[in-house]
Amino acid sequence: MTEGWTKTKPTALLVLADGTVIEGTGLGAPGAVEGEVCFNTALTGYQEILTDPSYAGQIVTFTFPHIGNVGTNDEDHEDLVPMNGRGAVGAIFRAEVSGPSNYRSAGDLDAWLTARGVVALSGIDTRALTALIREKGAVNAVIAHAPDGVFDVEALKARAASWSGLVGLDLAKDVGTQQTATWQEGPWAWNVGYSTDAEPRYTVVAIDYGTKRNILRLMAGQGAKVVLMPATATAEEIMAHKPDGVFLSNGPGDPAATGAYAVPVIRELVEKDVPIFGICLGHQLLALALGATTEKMHQGHHGANHPVKDFTTGKVEIVSMNHGFAVAAGSLPQGVEETHRSLFDGSNCGLRLSDKPVFSVQHHPEASPGPQDSHYLFDRFFRLIDEHKAKAAA
């Protein structure tokens, strides 16, 4: 060691389930929390990512090195109730979080993380951690932040090793709305803000397994009054609102666990011949209801640069993804058509019924963050609603 050189005492640790300890600099909330470590390859949109309820139970590693440079604001969160801590439980950055430099910024990222209760660390080799996840799969871990640098490392190792992980874990009923509510805020426009349709033309019931705001905004932008209902709502309660369509939202956790109460409801809704559109967890739950199976992915898909092919149009689109479970493509039963497929690994990314106005996709057509190539899927949903209404009126 060079004379006079002293190592800075780490104020944060990432302790993997296999006992590996990675030292860093702490930021955000003090404390320790367990979660599944995944990596996200998006170049922008860290606030939207960290507030996406689909990340509940996960620690997000950002592969893009410069995080924090646009600050945070009150418009870009994706969970329904700001500061409720229902998004990612932890965050990992390569570089020290930079100060905000953006006209929309209302505060810096460190303070925002602290206010939300998110434990974070910086100063580690995120490329090496990403390579480890690609090799071994998503790993369980504990992320800990102690400003004084004092840790009980053995206790953290035991805690990481004993955490059961996301398989078999139902998180949807915890992150979604707990009571019925109405949503009418529309899409955001530059220097204008969010619109509101004063006279909606449709009623859509959204079953909230952990929905993102931008999904609801895009449906409102199509002229819908969106009725948000809890994940545990019954088919009778849903149909009491006389919906023109039903939306199955994204969300966290194992679809097989959430399916214990969600699948029977979805099956009943399918039989009622109401138009249905599902995204992410909603796609997986619909697949289960139709007789397919789901499986845990090796590392999952998390980013805004994923190529997906739509077989119904023959087009390839670049999409946002955030999921650690997937529908087993070979399990789709007769009458269920695969409509979309990942061009990265061939995994299933969409389905539709051949004889009913029902379809779903694995990726996130609302983006936020990410490309808007898949916005057409919302048009497709409302065209189905129009066609269904016209057929019923004939």
The catalytic residues are 280, 364, 366
DSSP 8-state symbol, 70:
T
CA nearest neighbour of 209 among 300, 323, 338, 92: 323
2: phi then psi, degrees, rounded to nearest 5: -65, 135
Which amino acid is it at 331? S
CA distance 120 to 97: 10
Handedness of CA 199, 200, 205, 207 (dihedral sign): negative
CA distance 382 to 378: 6
Residue by residue, DSSP assigns 202-236 as EEEEEEESS--HHHHHHHHHTTEEEEEEETT--HH
CA nearest neighbour of 133 among 121, 122, 125, 145: 125
